[in-house]
Amino acid sequence: MKFVDEFRDPQMARRVLERIHAVVEEIPTTAQRPLQIMEVCGGHTHSIFRYGLEELLPDKIEMVHGPGCPVCVLPMGRVDDCVAIAEQPDVIFTTFGDAMRVPGSKKSLQQANSDGCDVRMVYSPMDALDIARRNPHKNVVFFGLGFETTMPSTALTLLQADREGITNFSLFCNHITIIPTIKAILDSPDMVIDGFLGPGHVSMVIGKAPYDFIASHYKRPLVIAGFEPLDILQSMLMVVEQIRDGKALVENQYKRIVPEQGNNNALKAVGEVFELREFFEWRGLGSIDHSGVRIREKYARFDAERLFAVEPAHVADPKACQCGEVLKGVLKPWECKLFGEQCNPETPIGALMVSTEGACSAYYSYGKIDVKQAV
């Protein structure tokens, strides 16, 4: 298939892998400890396990699976908030499919639907707006979720609702931003990250410049990476070459998709509709300053948080659930006591088992269990 097969060429992959192995041998610190390279994006986590790339990398590289799966970092309390809105009379609650099964403290949205709430899966916020047009006597709420990748489509939908004068559509905004989160990871004392594979889709919107502080201040390399096997391997080679050469640069491997300056139209729509929150709570990472957005006062009439007077609930994860440790790379998924038994994709207990981009789900689906370490 044109534009796909080229990025899955096994001969080429072998050549890039040979170079990665050779470069890593030239890095003296790897004799003491493996390099810790974080793939920020859940899409990369999925590709790494789907194509077995971690197995092919040198033992001296350890992948740390980052927080870039928006469903996985959704705290339980926010799911409870969604259920509380969905339970209001005359509400149609709309959401992307992945979020349906994320457990809340009492139930998921899917269970709320079984209990009689009107919860509908949509593929885009525009689908939700269409439901609002067709159901003028219902209040249609869209669960806005995701990083800068999905933020523009939510913003554009809200602007469209505004233009059409639609009054029965609102947004429960849980959009999050990637830059403060990477900063929180770099500031975290229990995490040592030597370099990053930067998120491809987010970067398509925000461009390359917002990552500059990672190189200039924290002296870590970051390479914005595509999602095919050769994209990931080439990006890894670019990261380890920088480490070997004592460099810390932001590079863009995914140039065929990511413009250096990002997408100005998308950024303009986002800036028009959203403003930063002072802080936002993440599953496993706690509260991170300026890591989420809310709807500006100007568009308050579309804000489900205000319309339904949602007071963000703080709910602790179940005691045995170790999503936080996995998210921070302190534990591998199979080291969680619940992995594969009580927690599996059919009956997820933690959010990392729900989305296909979650590390636990990826490990479970593609059989990536390090038996040597597990026994």
Distance in angstroms (rounded) separating the CA atoms of residues 31 and 34: 8
SS3 206: helix
Among 178, 205, 353, 362, binds ligand SF4 (CB under 6 A): 353
Distance in angstroms (rounded) separating the CA atoms of residues 146 and 69: 8
Sign of the dihedral defined by the CA atoms of residues 364, 36, 196, 290, in that order: positive
> Of the two residues 216 and 347, which places its CB atom closer to ligand SF4 in the complex?
347
Q: Which two tokens stand for residue 290?
A: 């300026």
Q: State in angstroms the smallest separation of the CB of 336 from ligand SF4.
A: 3
Q: What is the DSSP letter of 343?
A: B
Q: State in angstroms the smallest separation of the CB of 318 from ligand SF4.
A: 8
Our separate counts of H helices and E strands in the chain read 17, 13
Chain-centroid distance, C-alpha 160: 26
Distance in angstroms (rounded) separating the CA atoms of residues 130 and 329: 41
Tell me which stretch binds ligand SF4 (CB under 6 A): 109-117, 159-167, 273-281, 346-354. Answer: 346-354
Tell me which stretch binds ligand SF4 (CB under 6 A): 15-23, 249-257, 288-296, 330-338. Answer: 330-338
Q: What is the maximum alpha-carbon separation in the chain?
A: 67
| Cβ 140 vs Cβ 168: under 8 Å | yes
Q: Does 326 bind ligand SF4 (CB under 6 A)?
A: yes
Among 339, 357, 362, 368, binds ligand SF4 (CB under 6 A): 339
Distance in angstroms (rounded) separating the CA atoms of residues 242 and 251: 10
Q: Does 362 bind ligand SF4 (CB under 6 A)?
A: no
Tell me which stretch binds ligand SF4 (CB under 6 A): 132-140, 231-239, 240-248, 337-345. Answer: 337-345
SS3 12: helix
Among 7, 350, 362, 368, binds ligand SF4 (CB under 6 A): 350
Going by C-alpha positions, the residue among 211, 218, 205, 206 that lies closest to residue 250 is 211
Q: Does 70 bind ligand SF4 (CB under 6 A)?
A: no
- Residues in the interface with ligand SF4 (CB under 6 A) total 14
Tell me which stretch binds ligand SF4 (CB under 6 A): 160-168, 214-222, 243-251, 333-341. Answer: 333-341
Q: Does 113 bind ligand SF4 (CB under 6 A)?
A: no
Distance in angstroms (rounded) separating the CA atoms of residues 313 and 365: 32
Q: Does 225 bind ligand SF4 (CB under 6 A)?
A: no
Q: Does 321 bind ligand SF4 (CB under 6 A)?
A: yes
The bridge status of strand 274-276 relative to strand 279-282 is: unpaired
Among 338, 355, 357, 362, binds ligand SF4 (CB under 6 A): 338
| Cβ 91 vs Cβ 109: under 8 Å | no
> Of the two residues 161 and 349, which places its CB atom closer to ligand SF4 in the complex?
349
Among 193, 194, 333, 357, binds ligand SF4 (CB under 6 A): 333
Q: Does 343 bind ligand SF4 (CB under 6 A)?
A: yes
Q: Does 67 bind ligand SF4 (CB under 6 A)?
A: no
Q: Can you give the binding site for ligand SF4, defined by CB under 6 A?
A: 321-323, 326, 333, 336, 338-339, 343, 349-350, 352-353, 360
